């Protein structure tokens, strides 16, 4: 299998800086293994930007399986904050995928940045948010359709960089030719419904157009947060 990808990260229409980071920085294609990732930083002052970039630098270079990469990123962010009061309390989401040309995708995930699989016209969310509203939905106390408007929708229950240890969730996907995989920050999913995301992935001829259209439509819907997307297409 071969992989063609496009990544975008955009400040949005409201925020004055971008605390998200994406990997890779450039679009491309490969017949070899591919690592992709999205991180959405949080924390006052410069903290969010530092947390997401330190996490991605570490997770994409350290080696090991996706969950090990995230645990290493966690320690790197904790270390970066140590003795630097300006960065105290910084953290980040991290969703990372490793594509194997033999046809497997391994995903590891902390926070509320998401991984989606688009296959045969159907969009399914692969990752499960570590967020307050996701817990409310699981407990039957909130209807899924009300989540997008909940006042605490951006409160995460797990993040990278807050503690020496972090609980990481892992998911596996057996890839098929024609699959499109989307990793994204909540700046996309707070602005667009899953149906809108599916329509954009369906309508774009190429991954770079899909990535451009996702960012454009999220900005068109308000762009209240930083918007980051990674779109990967699987070909024979």
- Interface ranges with Ca ion (CB under 5 A): 40, 185-187, 225
Nearer to Ca ion, 10 or 40 (CB): 40
Q: Is 29 exposed, middle or buried (0-12, 13-18, 19+ CB in 10 A)?
A: middle
CB of 187 to Ca ion, least distance (A): 5
Nearer to Ca ion, 53 or 185 (CB): 185
CA distances to 56, 70, 76, 194 from 61, in Å: 8, 11, 12, 32
CB of 190 to Ca ion, least distance (A): 8
Calculate the CA 62 to chain-centre distance. Answer: 19
CB of 3 to Ca ion, least distance (A): 26
CB of 217 to Ca ion, least distance (A): 17
Nearer to Ca ion, 112 or 233 (CB): 112
What stretch of H or E contains 75?
Answer: helix 66-81
Nearer to Ca ion, 34 or 191 (CB): 191
CB 130 within 8 A of CB 156: yes
Q: SS3 letters for 104-143?
A: EEEEEEECCCEEEEEECCEEEECCCCCEHHHHHHHCCCCC
CB of 70 to Ca ion, least distance (A): 18
User: Hey, how many other C-beta atoms are within 10 angstroms of the C-beta on 155?
Assistant: 12
CB 4 within 8 A of CB 207: yes
Nearer to Ca ion, 105 or 147 (CB): 147
């Amino acid at each position: 299998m071969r992989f063609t990808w496009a990544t975008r990260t955009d400040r949005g229409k409201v925020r004055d800086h971008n605390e998200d980071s994406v990997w890779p920085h450039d679009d491309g294609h490969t017949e070899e293994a591919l690592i992709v990732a999205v991180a959405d930083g949080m924390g006052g002052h410069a903290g969010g930007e530092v947390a997401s970039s330190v996490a991605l630098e570490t997770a994409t270079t350290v080696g090991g399986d996706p969950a090990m990469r995230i645990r290493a990123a966690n320690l790197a962010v904790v270390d970066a904050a140590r003795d630097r009061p300006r960065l105290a309390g910084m953290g980040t989401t991290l969703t990372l995928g490793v594509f194997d040309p033999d046809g497997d995708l391994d995903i590891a995930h902390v926070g509320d940045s998401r991984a989606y699989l688009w296959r045969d016209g159907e969009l399914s969310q692969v990752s499960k948010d570590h967020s307050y509203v996701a817990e409310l939905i699981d407990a039957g106390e909130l209807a899924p359709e009300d989540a997008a408007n909940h006042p605490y929708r951006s409160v995460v229950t797990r993040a990278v960089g807050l503690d020496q240890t972090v609980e990481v969730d892992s998911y596996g996907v057996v890839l098929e030719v024609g699959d499109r995989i989307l990793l994204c920050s909540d700046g996309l999913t707070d602005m667009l419904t899953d149906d809108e995301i599916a329509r954009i992935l369906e309508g774009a001829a190429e991954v770079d157009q899909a990535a451009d259209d996702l960012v454009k439509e999220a900005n068109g819907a308000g762009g209240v947060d930083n918007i980051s997307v990674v779109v990967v297409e699987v070909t024979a």
